[in-house]
Amino acid sequence: MKKSIILLLSIVSAILMTAPAGAQITGVELARKSQDPNQLLTHENEKVVREIEADADIIVCGGGLAGVCAAVSAARHGSQVILIQDRPMLGGNASSEMRMGIVGVKEDQCQEAGILEEMQCRNFYYNPLQRYTLWDDVIYSTVVEEPNIRLFLNTSVEDVVMDGEKIAAVKCWNSNNYTKYTITGRLFLDCTGDGILRLSGAEYRRGTEARSTYNESYLSNEKDNFNTMGNSILLQLRKTDEHHPFTAPDWAYHFTDDDFNYDTPKSTIPGIKLNYKIIWRAHDNNFWWMECSGVKFDTIHDANEIQYEMKRIAYGVWEYMKNHPDGRAKDYDLDWIGSIPAKRESTRYVAPYTLTQDDVVSGGHFEDVVAYGGWTLDDHNPNGFMNKGLASTEYIVNQGYGIPYDCLYSVNVPNLMFAGRDISTSHMAFSGVRVMATCALIGQAVGTAADMIIDKGTTPAGLRKDYIAELQDVLEDDDCMLPYRWRKVSPLTLSAKTAPENEPMRNGIDREWDGEDNGVYAAPGEVNLTYTWEKPVTVSNVRFIFDSDLKVRGKRMRKLEATTERMPMPSEMVKAFKVQVRVPATTRKDRKLNAADPAAGEWQTVAEVKDNFRRLVKLSFDSVQTDAVRIVVDETWGAEKAHIFAFDVK
């Protein structure tokens, strides 16, 4: 019997180590290897529930945008990653289950780039009609294309195994394939929002601190309380040519004009905006204000009750709008209603530093800045929808306020990091950093840091002490803008000669900024985007930032899905191009080819890309001795000329 168990564990180990990229381990291979294919499975020879062990460098719990960006970033830098998601799709609040809009900074020049922008451009390419179910698979593709990621969908973390102060493993359950997993790792990233890895004993807080705790003037409460912002279920509408009344279920709320008869005064204080339930407008409405009470309900433990409450509200609101005598919604039908409430606020871990209102308002000037925000301090009324009138109060902030690394790792569990809605902030600061575009940037920062921690053999605290500057450089090279600084351009790029009009490609500012273009234009076929050196240099890598038009907010999913209007790719983005190097005649074995012009050399193509949809493109090729490198644009996505922000060589 013991030999059989040992053999079975060996088979499991072999399967886990050779699982295909992105594949969820379901036990199919295990069944095939451990069972006679000609044998009938019965209660005598099959386990109803399988138990499987898995291992990776980095374990990411939570597959929302923060978790996806964390996993992808860590994997791309070389770490072995397991991504655990408790839903059948990735994306969290942005997925087809919730359909919350992805928001972040409000200014065009500060728009988030990095992996988030890559996914949004990928969505334009594969999903021009912007269908939500296809958007799910755009996110999915971003993950499963990474060979260093193993994805566990429909898998919930149930417990944490500790080794002293450190997390040794997480225990998980998959109800779809009746499998229990024990997943061990060296570093654990909690991107769940709810902070399930609190099971480790990590310090955390839930609720709203007293006004005096961090001297936050925007708070009114004098004592700590458990109040949080609530959860929401969204509606999605479809334009129609005919009016048909809507009948809500009997168990739904049934509203009348009296329920929405309230004053909507505007704020008289500069920088403060008051928001109300937009009950009279069907078009351009994402119904965010249909929100359960964060006073009446616990946003984690009362999930089932919240789901029922939100359904009652949602059906009642639509019945009221659709059937209203003034015809405010007569041209729309209810196309979709959410089932899973999208969460705003639940748990915040305690890290070495807690981001506060003053940090956000003052711009977040941190030595260890690794991400940024730009959403307002948008504090929703904790009484939610049932508060008659005011739904939220927004406090305007500077765009691109810094978020420090010291908010992103546990103060008492040495191998626990976090990204997304559960980072270390006060309630008021949280009201701004909680939105998904900001969470995605934080996720990429944490994933990049996690890989560096594994590579350096250090800890999250050790990285902060010894390698924070290196982390910042890597993030900027990966197209993550950091506030109050610009990317360092490679020495090889700076040592080259180029035409004066090409200089913006190597100024380290990879976007339009304060009215400066910071890019160059190139028509297909032109060969003027060239770097040259007086003596041959060794080149093996190039990096480009193409213009994906950060100003286009249409990358973020539509509020009205049913349309035949196709979203075009950013027209000035490079669609197809070549990278060419000039090999001097003296370095070639066959010098006769250049005997007539021994100094000129010959142009050779070392990389070629077609159907590009990425803003950031990094290419590697065999090292080559060259005295010149150039990019030749073959095609744009529609414009006469391509717009390029950066061209680096290494």
What confidence tens digit (pLDDT) does each residue in 419-451 have? Answer: 999 999 999 999 999 999 999 999 999 999 999
Q: Is the pLDDT of residue 392 over 60?
A: yes
Sheet strand arrangement including 602-609: 520-522, 642-649, 530-546, 616-636, 574-583, 602-609
Residue 403 lies in a domain: no
Q: What percent of the chain has pLDDT over 90?
A: 82
Dist CA 411 CA 201 (whole Å):
11
Pick the range with the lowest mean pLDDT from 294-308, 350-364, 475-489, 547-561: 547-561
Pick the last residue of a domain from 288, 311, 337. Answer: 337
640 contact partners, CB below 8 Å, separation of at least 6:
523
What is the Cα 418 distance to its own chain's centre? Answer: 13
Domain that residue 623 falls in: 491-649
Number of domain units in the chain: 2
Residue 503 lies in a domain: yes
* Opening angle at CA 35, ends 29 and 39, nearest 5: 135
Residue 587 lies in a domain: yes
598-638 residue pLDDT tens:
456 899 999 999 999 999 999 999 999 999 999 999 999 99
Residue 645 lies in a domain: yes
574 has which bridge partners? 636
Q: Is the pLDDT of residue 403 over 70?
A: yes
Residue 635 lies in a domain: yes
Crossing angle of helices 132-144 and 114-126, in 10° steps, is 120
This prediction's pTM:
0.92
Higher pLDDT, 601 or 168: 168
74 contact partners, CB below 8 Å, separation of at least 6:
57, 58, 60, 81, 148, 447, 448, 450, 451
Binning pLDDT at 50, 70 and 90, where does residue 358 land?
very high
Hey, what are 439's tokens?
């969470």
Dist CA 384 CA 312 (whole Å):
14
Q: Are 430 and 351 in contact (CB under 8 A)?
A: no
Pick the range with the lowest mean pLDDT from 348-357, 430-439, 446-455, 545-554: 545-554
108-163 residue pLDDT tens:
999 999 999 999 999 999 999 999 999 999 999 999 999 999 999 999 999 999 99
> At 438, phi and psi to the nearest 5?
-65, -40
Pick the range with the lowest mean pLDDT from 346-355, 406-415, 515-524, 598-607: 598-607
Q: Are 103 and 437 in contact (CB under 8 A)?
A: yes
Residue 585 lies in a domain: yes
Q: State how far the alpha carbon of 102 is from the alpha carbons of 193, 317, 355, 434, 512, in Å.
A: 16, 23, 22, 11, 22
Q: Are 368 and 404 in contact (CB under 8 A)?
A: yes
Smallest CA-to-CA distance from 514 within 57, 110, 94 is with 110
Pick the last residue of a domain from 292, 314, 337. Answer: 337
Pick the last residue of a domain from 291, 309, 337. Answer: 337
CATH number at residue 592: 2.60.120.260
DSSP 489-553: PPHHHHTSB--GGGGGGGSS--S-BTTB---EEE-TT----EEEEEEEEEEEEEEEEE---TT-G
Which burial class, exposed, middle or buried, applies to 264 when counting CB atoms under 10 A from its CB (0-12, 13-18, 19+)?
A: exposed
Binning pLDDT at 50, 70 and 90, where does residue 275 land?
very high
Pick the range with the lowest mean pLDDT from 201-210, 295-304, 308-317, 558-567: 558-567
Q: Is the pLDDT of residue 377 over 50?
A: yes
Binning pLDDT at 50, 70 and 90, where does residue 11 land?
very low
- How far the first Cα of the chain sits from its last, in Å, is 58
- Mean per-residue pLDDT over the chain, rounded: 91
Residue 31 lies in a domain: no
Mean pLDDT (whole number) for 336-347? 93
**What is the DSSP-derived secondary structure letter of residue 357?**
H
277-291 residue pLDDT tens:
888 777 777 889 999
pLDDT score for 1:
40
Polymer length of the chain: 650
Mean pLDDT (whole number) for 511-532? 96
Residue 168 lies in a domain: no
Mean pLDDT (whole number) for 212-236? 94
Q: Is the pLDDT of residue 411 over 70?
A: yes
